[in-house]
Chains A and B, each alone.
Chain A
Amino acid sequence: MSVLRNGAVTAGVIGLLWAFVIAVTVAVTLSFASGLGFRPGALGCVILGVGGGLALIYLRAVPFLLAGFVAVSVVLMFTPLSPMQFTEGVPLGWQLLSVVAFGVFTLWPMRVMLVEAHPGDLTRHAFEDAVIRFLTGFGYIVFTAAVLIPFYVMVMTSLKSQQALLKNPLDFSIDLSRGLDLFRSYFELFGQFNFGSYLWTSFYVSVLTVLITLAFSVPGAYAVARLRFKGRAAFSRSILLIYMVPMIVLALPIYIAFSMTGLRNTIPGLLMIYPVTTIPVALYMLQGYFRGLPGEVEEAGLMDGLSRLQVIWKITLPLSLPAMVSVSLYVFMIAWNEFLLAFMLLDDPSKFTLTRGVAMLNSSEIPRQHLMAGAVIATVPIMALFLGLERFMTKGLTAGSVKG
Chain B
Amino acid sequence: MTASTPPTTRGALERREARLAWSLLFPTIAIVSLVIILPLLSIFWISFKPVGLADLRPVAPVIRESLRSSGDDFRIEYRVRNSSQQKEVRGLTLTDTIPAGVTLGALPQVCALTGDTLFCDFGDVPGGFNERVRIPVTLDGDPEVLEDIVEGSEPTATGSGDNILTNAEFTLDNFARIFDSKEFLSVLWATVFYTVVGTIGALVIGLFAALLLNKEFAGKGVLRGLYLFPYVSPIIAVAFTWVTLFDPFSGSLNALLIQMGVVEAPINFFGQRPLALIMVTVFEIWRYFPLSFLFILARMQSIDTDMYEAADMDGASPFQKFWYLSLPMLLGILSVLFLLRFIWTFNKFDDIFLLTGGNAGTRTLTVNVYEQAFAISNIGAGAAVAVVVFATLLVFSVFFFKYISQEEGL
Question: Is the CB–CB distance between B31 and A355 below 8 Å?
Answer: no
Is A375 located at the chain interface by the 8 A CB criterion?
yes
Neighbouring B residues of A177 by C-beta, 8 Å? none
Chain B residues lying within 8 Å of A242, measured Cβ to Cβ, are 32, 36
Q: Given A253-B39, A383-B229, are A128 and B317 neighbors across the interface (CB < 8 Å)? A: yes
Q: List 29 A-B contacts (CB under 8 A).
A: A32-B256, A139-B208, A144-B223, A154-B241, A170-B256, A222-B24, A223-B25, A244-B393, A244-B396, A244-B400, A249-B43, A249-B386, A252-B379, A254-B35, A260-B56, A272-B35, A276-B35, A279-B31, A355-B234, A371-B240, A374-B237, A375-B240, A379-B237, A382-B233, A386-B228, A394-B294, A398-B298, A403-B344, A404-B341
Cα(A154)–Cα(B247), bound, Å: 13
Would you call A337 and B234 a contact (CB within 8 A)?
Answer: yes
Most buried by A among B254, B259, B343: B259
CA distance A312 to B204 in the complex (A): 42
Cβ contact within 8 Å between A252 and B43:
yes
A401 contacts across to B, CB distance below 8 A: 340, 410
**Residue A37 CB within 8 A of the other chain:** yes
Interface centre among A136, A220, A237, A333, by most B CB within 10 Å?
A220
- Contact with A247, one of B17, B318, B347 (Cβ below 8 angstroms): B347
- Interface residue? A351 (CB, 8 A): no
Q: Mask for B377-410, Cβ within 8 A of A = 1, else 0?
A: 0010011001001100100110011001000001
Give the residue of B227, B294, B386 whose beta carbon is less than 8 angstroms from that of A143: B227
Q: Known contacts A220-B25, A245-B40, A390-B225; is A39 also within 8 Å of B236 by CB? A: no
A157 to B18, CA, bound (A): 59
Asked whether A259 and B56 contact (CB < 8 A) given A32-B252, A245-B393, A371-B240, the answer is yes
Please state if A379 and B40 are interface contacts (CB–CB under 8 Å).
no
- Contact with A280, one of B32, B294, B295 (Cβ below 8 angstroms): B32
Nearest B residue to A387, CB-CB: B225
B interface footprint on A373-402 (CB within 8 Å = 1, 0 otherwise): 011101100110011001001100110011
Assuming the A-B contacts A249-B40, A250-B36, are A125 and B241 also in contact, with contact meaning beta carbons closer than 8 angstroms in the complex? Answer: no
Residue numbers in B under 8 Å from A216 (CB-CB): 27-28, 31
Contact with A along B310-348 (1 / 0, CB 8 A): 000001011100000000000000000100110110111
Report if A362-B240 is in contact (Cβ < 8 Å); known contacts: A37-B259, A340-B350: yes
A339 touches B350 (CB 8 A): yes
Residues of B within 8 A of A (CB): 14, 17-18, 20-22, 24-25, 27-28, 31-32, 34-36, 38-40, 42-43, 46, 56, 58, 165, 208-209, 211-212, 223-238, 240-242, 244-245, 247, 250-252, 254-256, 259-261, 286, 288, 291, 294-295, 298, 315, 317-319, 337, 340-341, 343-344, 346-350, 353-354, 366, 369-370, 373, 379, 382-383, 386, 389-390, 393, 396-397, 400-401, 404, 410
> Contacts A217-B28, A383-B229 hold; do A154 and B212 have CB atoms under 8 A apart?
no
Given contact pairs A39-B260, A230-B18, A355-B236, A244 touches B317 in the complex (Cβ within 8 A): no
* Chain A residues packing against B (C-beta within 8 Å): 27-28, 31-32, 37, 39-40, 87, 124-125, 128-129, 132, 136, 139-140, 143-144, 146-151, 153-154, 157, 165-166, 168-170, 172, 215-217, 219-220, 222-224, 227-230, 232, 235, 237, 240-242, 244-250, 252-254, 256-257, 259-260, 272-273, 275-276, 279-280, 283, 308, 333, 336-337, 339-340, 354-355, 358-359, 362, 368, 371-372, 374-376, 378-379, 382-383, 386-387, 390, 393-394, 397-398, 401-404
Report A211 CB to chain B, min CB distance, Å: 14
- A153-B245 in contact given A228-B14, A397-B291 (Cβ < 8 Å): yes
Whether A169 pairs with B252 at a CB distance below 8 angstroms is yes
Q: Which residues of B contact A136 (CB under 8 A)?
A: 212
In the complex the two chains form, is B234's CB within 8 Å of A378's CB?
yes
